[in-house]
Amino acid sequence: MKTVEESFAQAESFKMAGKLNNAAKEYGQILKIEPQNIPALMNLGNLFFMLGFLKKSVESYEKVLELKPNYSYALYRLGISYYRYAQFKKAIETFKQVLAQDSELYMAYNWLGLCYYHLGREDKSIEAYSKLLEKTPEPFIVNYHRAIAYKSTGQYDKAITGFSNLIKIHPEHVSAHYHLGLSYLQKHEIYKAIQIFRKVLKLNPKHKGAAEKIEYLTDVPSI
């Protein structure tokens, strides 16, 4: 029979080789010997998450937290599992606990923003993204999500500023261009919207949404 140390090494080898199911079995063997082995439980939870077994992922992180209630990273991973499992209210409460315990895990604000957005609470979504950007203004995806939320709440000038700034950083980001065009369209700035949608088609000639918008807008008078 392998020792716990040997099983950890074997699991890591399987994981590096992309054999996630085999790695999960190794961690399962460890837990038969040491049911309270927190690193094995965490690794197993992470593997279940990667394999799409979200219920098992949640169960693994919950076991970790039974053994170590203030383990912020386990809470963080649990929150992400709840989010992927579409349990947005549970995820929100979990991420709030994370932020109350550990100020370094501020990416929890990003997940909070996503949860609130899915629940139709764009105002709270914007608030969460803004708090994260106070901590670290760089993440492209967070700025993108906040601009989307601004557009969803009718704050089109802020959305336009957000998408325009993102395009300066990544000029070929198709989705940022497209949502910029939609924001101009909502403001009835038809000419600007058409120009942006044409840019989208230059970047992606198969973009159905941009093609449909141009076809429609060039057939109607400017407002």
Q: Note the pLDDT tens digit of each residue in 10-69.
A: 888 988 888 999 999 999 989 998 999 999 999 999 999 999 999 999 999 999 999 999
The pTM of the full predicted model, rounded to 2 decimals, is: 0.77
pLDDT score for 141: 86
Is residue 95 over pLDDT 90? yes
Q: Rounded to whole angstroms, how far apart are CA atoms 57 and 179? A: 34
pLDDT in tens, 152-205: 999 999 999 999 999 999 999 999 999 999 999 999 999 999 999 999 999 999
46 found inside a domain: no
Is residue 217 very low, low, confident or very high in pLDDT (cuts 50, 70, 90)? confident
Q: Rounded to whole angstroms, how far apart are CA atoms 64 and 48? A: 14
Q: Rounded to whole angstroms, how far apart are CA atoms 113 and 170? A: 22
Residue 180's domain comprises 138-223
pLDDT score for 222: 47
Burial of 162 (0-12, 13-18, 19+ CB in 10 A): buried
Q: How many residues does the chain have?
A: 223
Number of other residues whose CB lies within 10 A of the CB of residue 191: 10
Is residue 220 over pLDDT 70? no
182 found inside a domain: yes
The answer to whether residues 85 and 58 touch, using CB atoms and an 8 Å cutoff, is yes
Number of domain units in the chain: 1
Q: What are phi and psi of 189, to 5 degrees?
A: -95, 80
Q: Which residue has the higher pLDDT, 223 or 11?
A: 11
Q: Rounded to whole angstroms, how far apart are CA atoms 163 and 24? A: 41
98 found inside a domain: no
CATH assignment at residue 179: 1.25.40.10
Q: Rounded to whole angstroms, how far apart are CA atoms 128 and 87? A: 18
Smallest Cα–Cα separation from 180: which of 201, 197, 202? 197
The answer to whether residues 200 and 216 touch, using CB atoms and an 8 Å cutoff, is no
pLDDT score for 68: 95
115 found inside a domain: no
Q: Rounded to whole angstroms, how far apart are CA atoms 196 and 185? A: 10
Is residue 223 very low, low, confident or very high in pLDDT (cuts 50, 70, 90)? very low
107 found inside a domain: no
